[in-house]
Amino acid sequence: MDAFKWNPAELLKLSGSYWSTCALHAGVKLDLFTPLASQPRTAAELASELGFAERGLAMLLDALAALELLSKQGERYAATPFAADFLNRAAPGYLGHIIMHHHHLVESWSRLDEAVREDTPVRRRVSHEPTPMERESFLLGMFNLAMLMAPKIVTQVDLSGRRKLLDLGGGPGTYAIHFCQQNPQLQGVIFDLPTTRPFAEQTLARFAMTERIRFEAGDFLTDPLPQGCDVAWLSHVLHGEGPSGCAQLLANTVAALEPGGLLLVQEFILDADRTAPLFPALFSLNMLLGTSQGQAYSEPELDGLLRQAGLVGIERLVVNLPNGAGIMLARKA
C-alpha cells in the first residue's frame, strides 16, 4: 500500500473534521437517536416531542443522515441499525457515555497551544476533580470501553491458579468482573477513589458479583493497598502520572502483591521513537491538557519502569487491540 501523502484537500479535511465530531456530540447530548431507534419521525414531530426549535433540529438531523447515522425517507428520519445498537440509550451496547466524555474534553483541546506553550494543564483532572456530569460520563465511559475490550482480553490472559485480583484504579470494575467470570476460582477487589464507589457497586450488582468482588476506597499513590492479592491489573492508570509517579505506584503495587504475584499493565503504547501509533501520540497530548506530568509511554519506557520496580519475566502479550493499546506482563520474584 502506498504511503499516505498530504495534499491541500486532505489538510483542510483534517482541519474541519471537528464539524462532524460536534454534530455527533450534539446528537448524543440531545439524545436524538433513542426516539428515532423506536420509530421514524419527521423533524417537526421530533421537535414538538422534545421541545426544540424545528429549523436547527432539521439541519442537525440532515447532517447526521449525511454521516450515515440516521436514514431519511421522504421527511421521516430513523436511526440506522448501527446507531440503534450503539447510540440508543435503551441499547445494551450504548456508547453515549464515552462520547460525552470526549465532548467534555473539547474545550481544553481548543487550548492546546496554551498548554504546550506553558507546559501546564488547562482543565481539571477528570478522574479527580470532575463535575457530577463529567464524573458520570468519565466512569460510565470507561465502562463503555471496557465492555468492548474486556471480553477479548480475559480469554487471552492466563489467570488459572490465581486466587485474588487487585483491579487498581478500576473505576466501575468492568475488568475485575470479566476476569472473575472467566476464572471461577478468582475473587477481586477494586481500589479507587471514594467517589467511584456508587458506580462500582451498581456495576457489581448488575453482574451479580457482589459476593466475589468488593470495592475499597483510597488513593493508590498515598494510601495502603489491599493485601493478599496474587495478580494486579492496572488498566490505563500509568498514563495519568509522570515517570516518578509511575515508579511510586508500581513500587506500592509490587509491595502489596504476594510473592510470585502477576502484574498486568494495559496502556496506549508508543513505539520506541514515540511517533507511532497515532492514537497514543495524540493521547499523550490529552494528558498534557489535563495532568501535570501524565503522558503516553513507549514499550521500552514501560519495560524500564517494570524493571525498576524489581519485576521479572517482563513481556508484551500478543493481543490485537485497537488504538495502539497493549498489555505488558511481569512477575514479582
Q: What is the pLDDT of residue 3?
A: 76
Q: Which regions of the chain does DSSP assign to beta strands (E)?
A: 41-42, 70-73, 76-79, 164-168, 187-192, 213-217, 229-235, 257-270, 297-298, 311-316, 325-332
3-state helix, strand, coil in the chain (%, to 5): 50, 20, 35
pLDDT value, residue 2: 62
Q: Before 277, cis peptide (omega within 30)?
A: yes
DSSP strand E in 90-197: where? 164-168, 187-192
Reading the block at residue 302, the C-alpha cell is 514501560
- Which residues are identified as catalytic? 239
Q: How many CA atoms lie within 13 A of 316 on its CB side?
A: 19
Distance of CA 172 to the CA centre of its chain: 12
CA angle 161, 311, 174 (to 5 degrees): 55
Amino acid of residue 263: L
> How far apart are the C-alpha atoms of 287 and 308, rounded to whole Å?
23
Separation between Cα atoms, residue 292 and residue 276, nearest integer Å: 23
User: DSSP labels for 135-196?
Assistant: HHHHHHHHHHHHHHHHHHHHTSS--TT--EEEEET-TT-HHHHHHHHH-TT-EEEEEE-GGG
pTM of the model: 0.92
Largest CA distance in the chain: 68
Q: In the numeric block, which cell numbers belong to residue 153? A: 482480553
What pLDDT shows up at residue 126? 62
HSE (side-chain half, CA atoms, 13 Å) at 6: 5
Helix (H/G/I), strand (E/B), else coil: 329? strand
Record the cell numbers describing residue 5, joined without a space: 501523502
For residue 203, the surrounding DSSP H or E stretch is helix 197-206
Whole-angstrom distance, CA of residue 84 vs CA of residue 214:
34
Q: How far is CA 209 from CA 169, 186, 190, 201, 218, in A?
A: 18, 11, 12, 9, 21
Amino acid making up residue 171: G
Residue-wise pLDDT tens for the chain (333 aa)?
A: 467 899 999 999 999 999 999 999 999 999 999 999 999 999 999 999 999 999 999 999 999 999 999 999 999 999 999 999 999 999 999 999 999 999 999 999 999 999 999 999 999 766 556 678 888 899 899 999 999 999 999 999 999 999 999 999 999 999 999 999 999 999 999 999 999 999 999 999 999 999 999 999 999 989 999 999 999 999 999 999 999 999 999 999 999 999 999 999 999 999 999 999 999 999 999 999 999 999 999 999 999 999 999 999 999 999 999 999 999 999 999
8-89: CATH architecture: Orthogonal Bundle (1.10)
Query: The cell 495502539 sits on which residue?
Result: 324
Output the pLDDT for position 273. Answer: 98
Instruction: Specify the DSSP element, H or E, that contains 102.
Output: helix 96-109
Quote the pLDDT of residue 4.
Answer: 85
- CA 280 to mean position of chain CA atoms: 13
Domains in the chain: boundaries: 8-89, 148-332
> Which superfamily, per CATH, for 148-332?
Vaccinia Virus protein VP39 (3.40.50.150)
